[in-house]
Each structure stands twice: as structure tokens, then as C-alpha cells.
Structure 1
Amino acid sequence: MIFDLDGTLFQTETLLLPAYHATFEQMRTEGIYSGETPPESAILGSLGMLLEHIWQRVMPGVEVQVHRRADELLLDYQMKGLENGEGALYGDVADTLTALHAQGIRLFIASNGLEGYVKGVMEFKGLTPIFEGLYSAGEFQTRSKVDLVKQLLETYDVKSAWMVGDRSSDVEAGKENGLTVIGCDYAGFRNKGELAGADVRIAKFSDILELIEK
């Protein structure tokens, strides 16, 4: 099983939003950004995209150097938040993943996030040992989740898998690579119709265990 991270395993907003506001406050202090912080809906609605595309939506018309500084600051504030115990998994994620691992199912992450963020969340939440691979666009410099998942499948010689996620990028990554797609319908970040192509939609993460039994 290949899992997206934000909005699938991790309640992103519990860590992201404090870091988001701190990032803009710091950029104003540094004099590289002026004006109000863009609304939270701007970044929450962009989750699942590559970070460079997120900033293009959140801060259109701003120099790319500012976007890259925002990358650095956001990651730094998120890592500090994790160290301070901020950020939460969805309620049944840890137990469900542990149960899947106990059944001998190979578990992977495929995220469009930065490497430090993806690995940091898994490490601080104590889940790294049960995953065979933690793949991120930030580490492998892939241009789409389709390419990221393709690379993962080839590297680990995976012939059959489920792609589990909450955004259209997850559906596309699964379908383009011939995988069964499980759409997570509980985060609320996505736009209408994003999960239309999923094979199955689940209302809570633990529903995956019932799907396996079927």
C-alpha cells in the first residue's frame, strides 16, 4: 500500500497553520514580503500540489527567491512544531497502519512534500519502522506524483498495490501506474470531484481493514 501523507495519514492543518503564519511574519520582518498573510484557505486548498506550485497560488507575482525562502521557513517552523509535540495523525491511523504491517503488507509513503517534512512527521510520530520506503518529491525531484510513484514501484519491484490518498494527484498517480485507488473522503481540503476516479472511497482510515477482508 502506498499512502499520501497530508490529509490521508496526517491532520496537516494542526502543524501547518501555525507554521504558515509564522513564516509570513518572519518574511515581513526580513523585508522580503509586505502585506497581509494570505488566507488559510489558500494553502489548505493547495495541499497535494508540489510546494513550488503551492506558493505560486498563495503568492502569485512574487519573486521565486521569496518562494524558496518560504520553503525554508515553513519547513523550519514545522520541524520545531513537531519537536514541541504539535501536529496530529487522524485518530485511527497509527493502529490501522500497525495492523496492516502485522499482516505482512508492505507500506510506503509517496508525498509531494519536502523530504525533511515527510520523514520528520513519520519519525516524530514513531511510524518510520513500519514503512519500507518514504518517498517525497522533495528528495527525488520528481515533477508529478505519477513519476514519484512510478519510481517507487520500480525501485522496490512492486507489481500490485493500492494507492491511498485524498487528492486528484493521488488518483492520477494510482491510475497512471495501474494501481487500485482508495480515496480518503475525510480531510475536507480537496475540491469537488477530485476523488471521482477512485475505485473506492472511505469515510475513515480504518475502513481499509474492512476492504482487505472483502
Structure 2
Amino acid sequence: MIFDLDGTLFQTETLLLPAYHATFDQLRAENLYSGETPPESAILGSLGMLLEHIWQRVMPESDEAVRRRADVLLLDYQIQGLVKGEGKLYDGVADTLTALHEQGIRLFVASNGLESYVKEVVAYKGVDELFEALYSAGEFQTRSKVDLVRMLLEKYGIGSAWMVGDRSSDVEAGLKNGLTVIGCDYAEFKSGSGELEGAHAKIQRFGELLELIER
């Protein structure tokens, strides 16, 4: 099974939003940004995209240097939050992943996030030992999740897998790589009813994965 991270395993807003506001406070302090912080919906509605595309949507008027500074600040504040114990996995994630692992199912993460963010979230939430590998767009410099998942499949010799995620990018990555796609329909910041169109099955809570396997 290959899992997306944000909105699938990790309740992203519990870590992201405090860091998001701190980032814009610091950008203003450095005279790199003026005006009000863009609404939270701007970044929550962009999750699942590559970070550069997220900033293009959140602050389209800012230049590239400011966006790169925002990258650094947001990551720093999120790591600081993890160290302080902020951020939550969705209900049932740790137990379900443990049960899947005990069944001998190989577990992976494929995320469009930055390498250190993905690895730190999984480590600080205590589930890192359950995964065979963590793949991120930040580490492998991929331009789409389709490419990222393809790289993972080829590297680990995987011929059959489930792609589990909450975004259209996850559905696309699964379908274009010939995988079974499970859509996670429980994130509070999901962007719309058509986001998971094409998924073979949808779940309303993470633990339903165990029921799907039994069926």
C-alpha cells in the first residue's frame, strides 16, 4: 500500500495553520510581505499540490525569492511544532498501519511535500518503523505524483499495490500506474465532491482499509 501523507495519514491543519500564520508574521517582519495573511482556505485548498504551486496560489503577487523564503519559514515552524508535540494523525491511523504491517503488507508513503517534512512527521508521530520507504517530491524532484509513484514501484519491484489518498493527484497517480485506488473522504479541508472521481473505493475513516482487505 502506498499512502499520501497530508489529509490521508496526517491531520495537516493541526500543524500547518499555526506555522502558516507564523510564516506571514515573519515575512512582514522582514519587509517581504505587506497586508493581511491570506485566508487559511487558500493554503488548505491547495494541499496535495507541489509547494511551488501552492505559493503561486496563496500569494500570486509575490516574487520567487519571497516564495522561497516562505518555504524555509513554513518548514522551520512546522518542525518546531512537531518538536513541541503539535500535529495529529487521523483517528485509527497508527493502529491500522500496525495491523497492516503485521499482515505482511508492505507500506510506503508518496507525498508531494518536502523531504524533511515528510520524514519528520512520520518519525515524530511514531510510525516510521512501519514503512519500507518514504518518497517525496522534495527528495526526488518529481513534477507529478504519477512520476513519484512510478519511481517507487520500479525501485521496489512492486507489481500490484493500492494507492491510498485524498486528492485527485493521488487518484491520477494510482490509475496511471495501474493501481487500485482508495479515496480518503474524511479530511475537513477536502476541496470538492469530484476530488476522488475515479477511485475504486472511498472510505470515511482510515480503519475501513482493514474491512476492504477482508472483502
How far the C-alpha of 1:198 sits from its partner, in A, is: 0.4
TM-superposition CA deviations, 1:185-210 (whole Å, max 9, x none): 00032322010110000010000000
- Residue number in structure 2 paired with 1:150: 150
Asked if 1:132 is matched to 2:141, the reply is: no
CA deviations 1:11-38 (Å, max 9, x no partner) are 0000000000000000000111111100
Aligned residues: 214
In the other structure, the counterpart of 2:207 is 206
Equivalent residue letter for 2:206: F
1:164 alignment partner, SS class = strand
Q: What CA deviation, in whole Å up to 9, does each residue of 1:67-121 have, x standing for no partner?
A: 1100000000000000000000001000000000000000000000000100000
Q: How far, CA to CA, are the matches of 1:18 and 1:61 in structure 2?
A: 23
Per the alignment, residue 81 of structure 2 pairs with 81
Kindly report which structure 2 residues correspond to 1:51-62, keeping only aligned pairs within 5 A, or say none: 51-62=51-62
**Partner residue, 1:164:** 164
Secondary structure at the counterpart of residue 183 of structure 1:
strand
**Which residues in structure 2 correspond to 1:13-28 (within 5 Å)?**
13-28=13-28
- Secondary structure in structure 2 of the residue aligned to 1:159: coil
Return the alpha-carbon distance in structure 1 between the equivalents of residues 82 and 159 of structure 2: 35
What SS does the corresponding residue of 1:5 show, helix, strand or coil? coil
- Counterpart of 1:40 in structure 2 is 40
Partner Cα separation in structure 2 for residue 91 and residue 180 of structure 1: 23
Q: Which residue of 2 aligns with 1:95?
A: 95
Alpha-carbon RMSD across the aligned residues, in angstroms, is: 0.6
Instruction: Look up the match of 1:195.
Output: 196
Taking the aligned partners of 2:161 and 2:16, their CA distance within structure 1 comes to 29
| SS of residue in 2 equivalent to 1:110 | strand
The CA distance in 2 between the partners of 1:206 and 1:95, in whole Å, is: 8
Deviation at 1:62, TM superposition (A): 1.0
Question: What TM-score do the two structures reach when normalised by structure 1?
Answer: 0.99
Runs (4 or more) in structure 1 with deviation over 3 Å come to none
SS of the residue aligned with 1:191? Answer: coil
Identity %: 75
Deviation at residue 129 of structure 1 after TM alignment: 0.8
What residue identity is the alignment partner of 1:118? V
* 2: CA distance, partners of 1:60 / 1:10: 27
TM normalised by structure 2 equals 0.99
CA distance in 1, matches of 2:191, 2:88: 23
Q: Which amino acid is 2:198 matched to?
A: G
Counterparts of 1:128 and 1:172 in 2: how far apart (Å)?
Answer: 26
In structure 2, what is the Cα distance between the partners aligned to 1:71 and 1:9?
22
- The reply to whether residue 108 of structure 1 matches residue 124 of structure 2 is no
2:119 is the counterpart of 1:119 = yes
